[in-house]
A = this chain, B = another copy of it.
Amino acid sequence: MSFNTFGHALRVTTWGESHGPAIGAVVDGCPPGIALSDADIQPWLDKRRPGASRFTTQRRESDTVRILSGTFEGRTTGTPISLIIDNEDQRSKDYADVARAYRPGHADYTYDAKYGFRDWRGGGRSSARETAARVAAGAIARLIIPDVKMTAYLVELGGDPMDRDSFDSDAIEANPFHCPDPAAAKRWEQMLDDARKAGSSLGAVVECVADGVPAGWGAPVYAKLDAELAAAMTSINAAKGVEIGDGFAAARLRGEENADAMRAGPTFLSNHAGGILGGISTGQPVVVRVAFKPTSSILTPMPTIDRDGNETEIMTKGRHDPCVGIRAAPIVEAMLALVLADHKLLHRAQCG
């Protein structure tokens, strides 16, 4: 059994491999009557698109989305919305080594272990290209929650954290790192250039905040809003950790420091909880943070084995992101939008 569908009331099924003819998503459960055209989706794909700067893969894809179903006269009909994005720039020859041996840090070995063989072209289904379909679906989710604004940005790269006191939301779109701290972005530029030239790669931490989520979304106990967010984020390629609100730092606080006091409004005097208590939104900003490991595709040769179990070495040529975390920011936003839109509908189902 494999699971390529995400969500409950709003459900997204994605399909496609890196080097097949296309990838896509089917979005089911979208409310009817919402204005929707390709132009509502394309800008979000453009933000994720590779090749935007020297810090992302030079693979060239226009990532042009087409809506194949589910709209009529520019509005959603309530039936499944099929989205397709053609694959354009496929250089399968880059992957000859990959066909032969397992790249450490990649899913090559595990796919073989599970399925008996694998599509080795560009990582097949495990390619980060799958996330383009998420971004496209997330664009529709945004339209279901128009009053919620999601913003993702990098707070750490290569172990170097941004300075929280220098947080400038205008800076986020002004540097290739989606970093709210211009000074950190400057440092990271140098760090990443160095890593790339050394045939290495760096990790990153992405934070995403959703403003405008009303109190009451989420559901005990296994579909807690934070549990759903944790799954959504950890399903993104290269994610290794997720935090809600203060996350691991909350484990270092005392009870009276961590519990967010309330005043009339209601307002909260702090937001250590990241906008979620008991799995249900508080009305404060929802805050999630995701750790991305360094890109496993590196030019440094690594010890590994081939399909027959023989020891060998592999280095990953081809065009890769030196830090996948950078391009993860729009994907984190999309997954947050999908979870929130789903829970808006779920809340409406049970509570009217």
CA distance A260 to B296 in the complex (A): 10
CA distance A96 to B104 in the complex (A): 57
- Given the interface pairs A82-B24, A293-B250, the reply to whether A31 lies near B158 with Cβ below 8 Å is no
A340 to chain B: closest CB distance in Å? Answer: 14
Whether A350 and B32, one on each chain, are in contact in the complex, defined by CB atoms closer than 8 angstroms, is yes
Within 8 A of B (CB), among A311-352: 311, 325, 345-352
**Is residue A65 contacting chain B, with contact meaning CB distance below 8 A?**
no
A83 to chain B: closest CB distance in Å? Answer: 10
Whether B255 and A295, one on each chain, are in contact in the complex, defined by CB atoms closer than 8 angstroms, is yes
- Given the interface pairs A17-B69, A79-B4, the reply to whether A259 lies near B298 with Cβ below 8 Å is yes
Which of under 10, 10 to 19, 20 to 34, or 35 or more describes the interface residues of A? 35 or more
- Given the interface pairs A244-B240, A269-B303, the reply to whether A115 lies near B28 with Cβ below 8 Å is no
Name A294's closest neighbour in chain B (CB-CB): B255
A55 to chain B: closest CB distance in Å? Answer: 14
CA distance A251 to B238 in the complex (A): 10
Whether B33 and A115, one on each chain, are in contact in the complex, defined by CB atoms closer than 8 angstroms, is yes
Which residues of B sit under 8 angstroms from A5, Cβ to Cβ?
Answer: 5, 11, 13, 28, 222
Count of this chain's copies in the oligomeric assembly: 4
Whether A78 and B305, one on each chain, are in contact in the complex, defined by CB atoms closer than 8 angstroms, is no
**Is residue A261 contacting chain B, with contact meaning CB distance below 8 A?**
yes
Which residues of B sit under 8 angstroms from A202, Cβ to Cβ?
Answer: 254-255
Seed contacts A15-B69, A158-B252, A264-B309; 7 additional CB < 8 Å A-B pairs? A3-B220, A33-B115, A106-B278, A227-B235, A240-B250, A253-B293, A258-B294
A88 to chain B: closest CB distance in Å? Answer: 14
**Is residue A36 contacting chain B, with contact meaning CB distance below 8 A?**
no
Which residues of B sit under 8 angstroms from A78, Cβ to Cβ?
Answer: 2, 114-115, 350-351
24 residue pairs bridging A and B, Cβ less than 8 Å apart: A2-B78, A3-B29, A3-B221, A4-B220, A5-B11, A5-B28, A15-B28, A16-B68, A16-B80, A29-B349, A31-B352, A32-B114, A77-B125, A104-B261, A113-B283, A195-B254, A203-B251, A226-B234, A228-B231, A229-B234, A230-B233, A251-B291, A253-B294, A345-B350
